[in-house]
Amino acid sequence: MHTSGTSSRRASNALAPARTVTRRDAFRLLIGAGALAFASPVAAFATSQSDIDAAQSDADAAQAQLDQIGQEVSDLSAQLSDTVGQIDDVSAQIDQTQSDIDAKQADIEAKQEDIDTTQKEIEQKQEVLGQRMSAAFKSGNASTIDLLLSSASFEELTSNIYYLDKVSEQDNAMIEEVKSLKADLETQKAQLEDDKATLETKQADLTTQKDQLNQLKSSQESQLADVQAKQQEAQDLVDQLNSNVQTLIDQRNAELLAAQEEARRVASYSSSGSSSGGSAGGSANISSGTSGSQAAVISAAYSTGSTGAGFCAAWVSNVFANAGVGTFYGNACDMYWAYCSSSDRSSIQAGMIIAVPTEPYSAAARIYGHIGIYVGNGTVRHCASGVVMTQSLDSWISEFGVTSTPRWGWLGGVALA
């Protein structure tokens, strides 16, 4: 059973009749009898299939190179995007670290204010104690001696001495407490300064990392620009080579059409000279025979063998020849434009050809299109990649109607009955 969607077996190339391999051979067979009869030789084609094949090979090689460069562009773009992401991440870390440094600096300044306040308190207490000691010195410690001499008993003397000692201890303890607070504040400040220094070191490391990433980014941007320039050059080359291929194809098609016209002229002259009935006809392609049987065409569609990969139109021609309808020449694109005029499904009949002038699955298919025969019951027979197969009409239209509208009609204008 045929499976749609397989690009490797889709393509239709130039037509040749009955198992031949080139379109030139087809026309040699066509005009041979007339040419011999009237001694009117047909000149060899100036543009050979090998010329087209060689040009197409060059274009395919250039396209492969373009695809490779395109992958390089994609890879470099991804690397550059990753580097930019890393720069953004490091920049965010730098900003956060700077914020932490600023916060530490604010803590240090606040701690310094506490230290300054505590230092002033120490100085004030020391000043009070100094004034007290100075007053005692100036009075000669008379008040202290008086206090001791005025003691009425030994117990009172002991109590007075204890009192004097406690006053001195309290003064000293107060000063020591404030000094201890100052020392603690200075320790906290030192820790904050250490933390700040650590953050500044981290900041410096991050800045260095960002500088390195920016250098990498510049290098990647330069590489990407170089590869993109090569990509454009490769694209220009591919365009030129494809244009060359198309020019050769156009030249060869013109030569084929000229050969067709000459063959029609010879056939018409021969027919008019030997018989008053019958005539050579056809529009874009050459045909003989004016009637045929639908049943015969359908039967031949199931019995006619493959004409090989790329020769779908040759297979169609063989089917109609085997069915006794006549011989028709041209590629799928030729037959499409000459005989296929309807896309209305209600009008399709068994024995009609169904074709597209182009389809995207290969270089040849884009140029020559694809063709088959509708055999009724929603079924199409066609030769794809050298295999004759059956496919539903819906599937065929869906698969091959991607870039152009499938149409159908009577091959050679011969309505089968």
Over residues 387-406, the mean pLDDT reads 92
Average pLDDT taken over every residue of the chain: 75
Beta bridge partners of 374: 380
Q: So what's the pLDDT on residue 82?
A: 93
Tell me the per-residue pLDDT of 272-320, one tens digit each, with 9 for 90 and over: 544 433 333 333 444 444 446 889 999 999 999 988 877 898 899 999 9
Tell me the per-residue pLDDT of 1-52, one tens digit each, with 9 for 90 and over: 333 334 334 333 333 333 333 333 333 333 333 333 333 333 345 667 778 7
Over residues 136-156, the mean pLDDT reads 52
Q: So what's the pLDDT on residue 118?
A: 79
Q: So what's the pLDDT on residue 169?
A: 67
Q: So what's the pLDDT on residue 250?
A: 82
Q: So what's the pLDDT on residue 45?
A: 56
Q: So what's the pLDDT on residue 125?
A: 72
Q: So what's the pLDDT on residue 159?
A: 54
Over residues 187-209, the mean pLDDT reads 88
Over residues 146-161, the mean pLDDT reads 53
Instruction: Name the percent of the chain lying above pLDDT 70.
Output: 68
Q: So what's the pLDDT on residue 392?
A: 94
Task: Kindly tell me if the per-residue pLDDT of 180 is higher than 50.
Answer: yes
Q: So what's the pLDDT on residue 253?
A: 75
Task: Kindly tell me if the per-residue pLDDT of 257 is higher than 90.
Answer: no
Task: Kindly tell me if the per-residue pLDDT of 181 is higher than 60.
Answer: yes
Tell me the per-residue pLDDT of 349-367, one tens digit each, with 9 for 90 and over: 999 999 999 888 877 788 8
Task: Kindly tell me if the per-residue pLDDT of 104 is higher than 70.
Answer: yes
Task: Kindly tell me if the per-residue pLDDT of 236 is higher than 60.
Answer: yes
Half-sphere exposure of 317 (CA within 13 A, CB side): 27
Task: Kindly tell me if the per-residue pLDDT of 97 is higher than 50.
Answer: yes
Rounded CA Rg of the chain: 51
**pTM of structure:** 0.43
Task: Kindly tell me if the per-residue pLDDT of 208 is higher than 50.
Answer: yes
